[in-house]
Amino acid sequence: MNVARASHIAVRPADLLLTIVATLVGLALLIARGVLRRGRPPRVEGPRLLAIDSIYSVHLLRARQAEHFVTHRDLDGYFEHVWSVHPLVGAHPGTPADALGGPPSITVLSATHTMIEGKTQRFSGLSRLPYFNFAIAQVQLVLMLDRIVHREGIGVVRGDPYYNGLIALLLGALHRRPVDVRVFGNQDLIYETVGALAYPRLFRLRSVEQRVARFTLSHADAVVVASADNRQFAVQNGARDDCLTFIANSNMVSPMHLAEPIMRERLPDEFGLGDRPVVMSVCRLEPLKRPDDIVRSVAAAQRHHSGIAAVIVGEGSMRGELTALCDELGVEDSVVLAGERDQRWIASMMTRADVIAVPLAGLALVEAALSGTPIVAYDVEWHSELIRPGREGLLVPYRDTDAMAAAIWELVADRERAAGLAAAARVRALEVMQPDKILADERALAAKLLAIAATPRGRGGQGAKS
């Protein structure tokens, strides 16, 4: 059994004890290594970054043609080499069976970018001790990262406010390297409105999740936020003002979404939808993203126009539930669960759609705004910072599927208004993106963090405001 996939496993006493022992042994090894390395400075040939996040595995990067999501981290050559780390491969549905367990794996994406994947289980024979198995896998990963930080002369370590941030802070403390924490969402607001935890399989209690966020955000040398909403979350959870930096995250958007909508590839009618009005949504099929609200909204919109259909792109644990819901609401012939698709297909399909519906999204909202297709979104989290109501799209109250259905029909019925909103959304997205400014801001922050790394005592809570 995989602990990262099961959120309600009864913990065996032996499993818990062995997990504690494995963790303590791992920490002891890290400390011993640090003592033995004293007086042996790391090899440093140029700026190097270690970035830890749990969004894309190598499998998903390649399946979605989303390599840009990680390769952009070299800042157009500013960093000589970047190591991107996914510590929890196996935690997400759809992970290939051969990637679920085993030792950490290393994949070279390019001459300047290497991907490291940690697993959520180390040995198949330890399935009855999932927590111990998980601890062994993670200890082995952290020991590998410890070697890489020293051997390769990593200058900056990056994480998030949760599990990845804890690993980043541990490595930063051991090697006196500055830690950069990236905030891409307001988890407090998400929990309040959706009831979802950031890492439900690791931090089962909201109180634990909050303590972890407050620890990582208050101890980071730099906290980077991508919106005013994200900044509010960071400040409320202990981020120091002198460490806060605002940098939009739109440089993660694949170049395929920057192409003019009219120049994008024309797709064949794969789903036999013909000239039916199509509502598209790109989201993981997980409760946090509310894909079921798209199904309910389309069913309600069919009261206005029986031909309205939907294409939902993404995979996740709710696929079976969504199929059953379509049958229950009588829209099984109108809703297509398209599964995982690559960025080229998504960018092209967005221009084919008549409306893009967004329950809760980050980069997917930016991609939608660039598509030239009108947007209906819930007024939740940061959405109103990009889509101003009635100017770049329509925002409706969170979880109000009747309001979303009415907005969908409004855009389908009034093509002229829909086209105006869509054009304004693309202009707005391009204004917000400002790739040259983002690159300059990222390089300025990297220079400040590398300056901290170069000081005799390394990181020491100096902060790196920009």
Say how far apart CA 61 and CA 81 lie, in whole Å. 19
User: Model confidence at 5, in pLDDT bands (50, 70, 90)?
Assistant: very low
Report the C-alpha gap between 412 and 402 in whole angstroms. Answer: 15
CA distance 327 to 225: 41
Query: Phi/psi of residue 161, each to 5°?
Result: -75, 0
For the chain, helix, strand, coil in percent to 5 are 45, 15, 35
DSSP-derived secondary structure letter, 371: T
The structure tokens 């906290």 sit at 223
pTM confidence score: 0.87
Range of lowest pLDDT (99-103, 148-152, 393-397, 450-454): 99-103
Pairing outcome for strands 105-110 and 113-119: antiparallel
Per-residue pLDDT reduced to its tens digit, 359-383: 999 899 999 999 999 999 999 989 9
The pairing of beta strand 81-89 with beta strand 48-52: parallel
pLDDT for res 7: 47
Q: Flag whether pLDDT at 299 surpasses 60.
A: yes
Residue 200 exposure: Cα atoms within 13 Å on the Cβ side: 13
The answer to whether 231 touches 246, Cβ cutoff 8 Å, is yes
Tokens standing for residue 313: 């792109």
For the segment 271-286, the average pLDDT, to the nearest whole number, is 95
What are the structural domains of the chain?
13-32+43-251+437-454 (3.40.50.2000), 255-433 (3.40.50.2000)
Query: How many residues does this entry show for the chain?
Result: 466
**b/e per residue 28-53 (b: at least 16 CB within 10 A):** eebeeeeeeeeeeeeeeeebbbbbbb
Write down the pLDDT at residue 35.
77
- Token pair of 388, please? 């101003």
* Contact assessment for residue 69 and residue 184, using Cβ atoms and an 8 Å cutoff: no
DSSP-H helix ranges across 355-414: 363-369, 383-386, 401-413
What are the pLDDT digits (tens) for 171-209?
999 999 999 999 988 999 888 887 888 888 788 899 999
Ranges 37-51, 91-105, 210-224, 293-307: which has the least confidence: 91-105
**pLDDT per residue as tens digits for the range 323-353:** 999 999 999 999 999 999 999 999 999 999 9
In the chain the first and final C-alpha atoms are separated, in Å, by: 45
Q: What is the per-residue pLDDT for 2?
A: 47
The dihedrals phi and psi of 40, each to the nearest 5 degrees, come to -115, 90
CB 307 within 8 A of CB 279: no
The answer to whether 287 and 318 are in contact (CB under 8 A) is: yes
Residue 420 burial (CB < 10 Å; 0-12/13-18/19+)? middle
394, 375 Cβ separation under 8 angstroms: yes
Region 259-277: what's the mean pLDDT? Answer: 94
At 420 the three-state DSSP class reads: helix
pLDDT of residue 94: 58
Confidence at residue 1, expressed as pLDDT on a 0 to 100 scale: 45
Confidence of residue 6 (pLDDT cuts 50, 70, 90): very low
d(CA 187, CA 190): 5
Separation between Cα atoms, residue 187 and residue 128, nearest integer Å: 33
Do residues 44 and 80 touch, judged by C-beta distance below 8 A? Answer: no
Please check the confidence at residue 118 and state whether its pLDDT lies above 50: yes
Q: For residue 93, is it left (φ>0), alpha (ψ between -120 and 50) or beta?
A: beta
- Alpha-carbon distance of 147 to 419, in angstroms, equals 54
pLDDT of residue 457: 55
Instruction: Average the pLDDT over each of 84-98, 315-329, 341-355 and give the range with the smallest value.
Output: 84-98
What ranges make up the beta strands (E) of 210-365? 222-225, 244-246, 278-282, 309-313, 335-339, 355-358
Task: Assess whether pLDDT exceeds 50 at residue 255.
Answer: yes
Largest Cα–Cα separation, the chain: 74
Minimal CA–CA distance to 230: which of 213, 209, 205? 213
In sequence order, the 6+-apart residues with CB closer than 8 A to the CB of 425 are: 368, 369, 374, 375, 387, 392, 393
Q: How many other CB atoms sit within 10 Å of the CB of residue 460?
A: 11
User: CA-to-CA distance for 237 and 258, rounded, in angstroms?
Assistant: 35
Q: Does pLDDT of 418 surpass 70?
A: yes
157 vs 124, higher pLDDT: 157
Cα 24 from Cα 27, distance rounded (Å): 5
Helix axes 13-37, 163-175, angle to 10 degrees: 30
In whole angstroms, how far apart are CA 99 and each of 316, 319, 431? 17, 22, 40
- Tokens 């693309």 identify what position? 426
